Amino acid sequence: MNGVQRPVIIAANWKMNTTPLDASLLANDIAAATEVAGVTRVICPPYVSLESVSRALADTEVEVGVQNVHAEPFGAFTGEISAPMVVMFATWSIVGHSERRRDQGEDDEMIGRKLLRCAESGLRPILCVGEQLEDRQAGRAEDTVRRQLERTLAEVRRVAEIVPDDLVVAYEPVWAIGTGLTARGSDASAMAQLIRHTLSGAGIPGGAAHVPVLYGGSVTSGSIDEFLAEPDIDGALVGGASLKVDEMAGIVARAGLTAAARGSGSRQG
């Protein structure tokens, strides 16, 4: 880590799962099972469960995030949710998740504007980038991720000339999500280095060495060790496994070992 101390972060993305009652109970159970020093814990429930999860976690150190925000603060966008609408309940936001790119057609420029909305509202963004299987097979994986970052940050600078200084990046090898295929720790580490190099070239405030990079490719308690053993990986964005208390307990416990080995503090947010 070249002397730079970054937080170790485990963020849970519950996707379209749980009702408000289910979510509050699950959040309580996960919070109680993951009290590990040095690990920043974030739970991102569905919008309808934000208030119940926020209340359930009020007396814990677990933070709350949203899975997405709109690219505009307000307007005639039926069915959408903006950053100012969620700041009472959340302090984090996932931005540009691969499923949003795939299913809602979000492009890098739109994602750049979402980063700006996060910055304006005080939400810490987890920006997701990653390549499809055909990109990796064709040798375009690095070019794809580099292009995503460059276009996203170019839009941020075009609109506001401000790049969020609390940015977190999640590397999602899309081909390893729910497919049975697996990425290697060395693959993720190489991509984390590329991500920081690209961010440095894009003018991230204070340089990119302080930017946490998470792994987000169907991580479980059984696979997390390989990724957290890499000095350039600072945690995980957890999907399906985040709905299981024992899985989250195992993942955060391993993250705690990483935090202790790196001498990380218990920085939150």
Q: Which of 148, 115, 112 is nearest to 130 (CA)?
A: 148
Rounded Cα distance between 91 and 66, Å, is 8
Side chain identity, residue 204: I
Nearest 10 degrees: CA dihedral of 215, 197, 110, 143?
Answer: -80
CB atoms inside a 10 Å sphere around CB 19: 11
Q: Which of 10, 25, 13 is nearest to 178 (CA)?
A: 13
Nearest 10 degrees: CA dihedral of 248, 254, 257, 262?
Answer: -100
Q: Which of 99, 131, 172, 230 is catalytic?
A: 172
> Could you tell me whether strands 39-44 and 8-13 are parallel, antiparallel, or unpaired per DSSP bridges?
parallel
Return left, alpha or beta for 125; rule: phi > 0 is left, psi -120 to 50 is alpha, else beta.
beta
Q: Which of 63, 70, 97, 247 is catalytic?
A: 97
The yes-or-no answer on residue 197 being catalytic is: no
The yes-or-no answer on residue 97 being catalytic is: yes
Q: What is the DSSP string of 217-239?
A: SS--TTTHHHHHTSTT--EEEE-
Rounded Cα distance between 81 and 74, Å, is 9
Catalytic positions: 97, 172
